């Protein structure tokens, strides 16, 4: 077991060395500027926005919270994947590399996620009202 730990540690050190060499090849100043920009973007925009959305989710009805959270997480993941190509599409040198319209497809996917969230929330509400066997729950005596 100890030999395995040393092997994993050696692999980690080798990968850190590779990372340092790649950063050095890019230019440490460029990487430092990028990291500073990432911190400012995260702490100045993303974190406050997520906190505000979290306050809105807490204010929602309990039956809606789960589907709302799932839709928000899915939409956030889709945005993180599509945002680089939406913000900086760049010149198309090879039309087969990125042949589709990212902005349109991202909006379509967000709409699909929103509709799915609404359908799940409505289904949960109907399920609670109708009961698990499709009939209204019996009233307590």
H helices of 27-91, where? 28-41, 47-59, 62-87
Residue 50 is predicted with a pLDDT of 86
Residue 95 is predicted with a pLDDT of 67
Instruction: Return the ∠ at Cα 13 (arms to 24 and 20), rounded to 5°.
Output: 5
The segments of the chain whose pLDDT lies below 50 read none
Residue 134 is predicted with a pLDDT of 58
Q: Specify the pTM.
A: 0.62
Residue 86 is predicted with a pLDDT of 82
Residue 35 is predicted with a pLDDT of 87
Residue 46 is predicted with a pLDDT of 86
Largest CA distance in the chain: 76
């Amino acid at each position: 077991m100890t030999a395995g730990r040393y092997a994993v540690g050696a692999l980690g050190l080798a990968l850190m060395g590779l990372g340092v060499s790649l950063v050095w090849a890019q230019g440490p100043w460029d990487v430092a500027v990028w990291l500073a920009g990432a911190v400012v973007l995260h702490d100045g925009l993303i974190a406050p926005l997520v906190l505000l959305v979290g306050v809105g989710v807490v204010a929602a009805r309990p039956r809606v919270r789960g589907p709302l959270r799932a839709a928000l997480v899915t939409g956030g993941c889709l945005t993180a994947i599509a945002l680089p190509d939406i913000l900086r599409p760049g010149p198309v040198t090879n039309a087969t590399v990125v042949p589709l319209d990212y902005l349109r497809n991202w909006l379509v996917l967000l709409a699909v996620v929103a509709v799915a969230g609404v359908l799940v929330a409505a289904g949960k509400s109907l399920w609670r009202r109708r009961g698990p066997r499709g009939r209204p729950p019996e009233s307590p005596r």
